[in-house]
Amino acid sequence: MRVEVRSTENPKKVERAVLNFFSPDSIEIEDLGEYKILIAKGRGFTSLRKLYNALRTQRILDAARKYLKSGCVGNTIIFHIHKQAAYVGAISFCSIPEKESPLGAITFIVTTNDANCFIDWLTPRTIEGSPISEAKPPDP
């Protein structure tokens, strides 16, 4: 997971936006001069448990599944969520992060042995917004 921290932003607030939906094993900030990049790394499905729960609470599984499927290339899944929305605990996916999230989006990069299994676990198929069935968590 990576997100830009602009000079006008409080790094702790950006970190809070990340931690609302991600439980990383490590967080570091790289200073690139004009701006900084917060990089958070997590291993295994437990690092995404907050996102998993929020997708169900906010009842946006269908939309989330669409974004994950469109960002899947091989065994890597890339998706973006709006940084300001994440700060207040809401998930808003971005198709074009530069336009839809003016201060930069939070970018998730998931590498897995089975992308379809991961997508089925995080965003199962639904009927009228409720999961048809829940998939078991993917292998770490």
Per-residue pLDDT in tens (0 to 9) along the chain, 140 residues: 999 999 899 999 999 999 999 999 999 999 998 889 999 999 999 999 999 999 999 999 999 999 999 999 999 999 999 999 999 999 999 988 777 777 889 999 999 999 999 999 999 988 877 788 888 877 65
Look at residue 50 in the predicted model and tell me its pLDDT: 97
Query: Residue 113, Cα to own-chain centre: how many angstroms?
Result: 18
Please give the model's pTM, rounded to 2 decimal places.
Answer: 0.90
Tokens of 82: 């709006």
- DSSP per position, 5-55: E-TTS-HHHHHHHHHTT---SEEEEEE-SS-EEEEEE--SGGGGHHHHHHH
Tokens of 124: 């199962």
Look at residue 93 in the predicted model and tell me its pLDDT: 95
Domain map of the chain by residue range?
2-129
Superfamily of domain 2-129: Ribosomal protein L5 (3.30.1440.10)
Look at residue 104 in the predicted model and tell me its pLDDT: 87
Residue with tokens 């379809």: 116
> For 80-120, how does the pLDDT look when each residue is reduced to its tens digit (9 = 90+)?
999 999 999 999 999 887 777 778 899 999 999 999 999 99
Look at residue 34 in the predicted model and tell me its pLDDT: 83
Query: Residue 88, Cα to own-chain centre: how many angstroms?
Result: 15
Look at residue 127 in the predicted model and tell me its pLDDT: 84
